Amino acid sequence: MHTPVTIIGAGLGGLTLARVLHIHGIPVTVYESESSPSARAQGGLLDIHDYNGQLALKAAGLMDEFHAIVLEGRQALRVLDRDGTVLLDQADDGTGGRPEVQRGDLRQVLLDSLPAGTVRWGHKVSRTRALGEGRHEVTFADGGTVVTSLLVGADGAWSRVRPLLSTATPEYIGKSVVETYLFDAGTRHPAAAKAVGGGMMIAPSPGREIFAHREKDDTLHAYLGLSGPQEWFAAIDFADAASATARIAEEFDGWAPELTALITDSDVAPVLRPLYALPPGHRWERVPGVTLLGDAAHLSAPNGEGANLAMLDGAELGEALAAHPDDVETALTEYEQAMFPRSAETATDEMPGIDSVDNTAHGLIDLAAEKGR
């Protein structure tokens, strides 16, 4: 295949696609808005599943590099009631199918697997437009442009490529999370460290919940989920860290102190993350010369599958293009026909919503037992 591929977005999905194309000798350029690989923190732990994310890494020929960055022991799971009672405590026996890695480390593995110059940093897309006959023009914030006959939007929730295919836009799901970090947890925050354990800790409750991971370097990374309209969160001054911390902590009044310490003892200012999703089952009619992957295609409420799906999208799209080197449209059709139902099925969350009366520690354990997990 000689048609160069233009990818917008150097996230995990876009980089997986670039790597698979590179393996098959297909020319590719990735344009990324960030100024460099280290321009911002790349998020926390990801569990990479053996039924999607690991399949993508196998297609990319990177399983050895992946195993080298796995954090041992992080598949451990604890479920706590809001009073701190431990209702489930599963150790990581090393046989699970979802080993944990740091997102930034995984991204670096993908970047290191590409030839120098594949990713063009500091290219923020301002708009895209169709030129006809499957060709598209991408305009960047600095005024530069690129014209391509094969454009892939891997540019996340607020994709600039999506409007070429769909009028859908992400909508707020009625829930936000507040992120906190506790460093050197074992020595500086022992009660919280004990509550979280060696891997992931979940403390669910109707209307509010706490998730936390033990990341590398003995860091606790917590996500405090709260149900509420965006206006409620907007009334909190997150620029005033102490005030915002106190206000969020009020919502967990009466919870065990080792759990609320994940809020009150944070070593960084709390960060608000409103959650959005595209309409369930989002899809589009085939448009020549352009497609989407990952959150640009099927953004959903967090369910542990987003990064895995984006990588599998990238791998399958790359393999489809390699399998049909003289027929791009057949490749894109084949890719989309597999991607649409897969993403729709995954977006159907088995877990109770945050406002459900079943969103409790006991409810979560009962659901897991019902599913045979």
Which DSSP category does 163 fall into?
A: G
- Give, in degrees to the nearest 5, the angle at Cα 16 between 77 and 21: 155
Q: Phi/psi of residue 273, each to 5°? A: -130, 90
Contact 301, 349 (CB under 8 A): yes
Using CA atoms in the order 4, 339, 213, 247, what is the torsion angle rounded to 10 degrees? 100
Residue numbers belonging to the annotated binding site: 40, 47, 103, 295
What DSSP assignment string belongs to 285-329? Answer: ---TTEEE-THHHH--S--S-HHHHHHHHHHHHHHHHHH-TT-HH
For tokens 């829930």, the residue is 175
Tokens representing 222 are 């917590």
Residue numbers belonging to the annotated binding site for FAD: 47, 103, 295
Question: Residue 276 is inside which H or E element, if any?
Answer: strand 271-277
Residue numbers belonging to the annotated binding site for NADPH: 40
For tokens 């009619």, the residue is 285
Contact 271, 221 (CB under 8 A): no
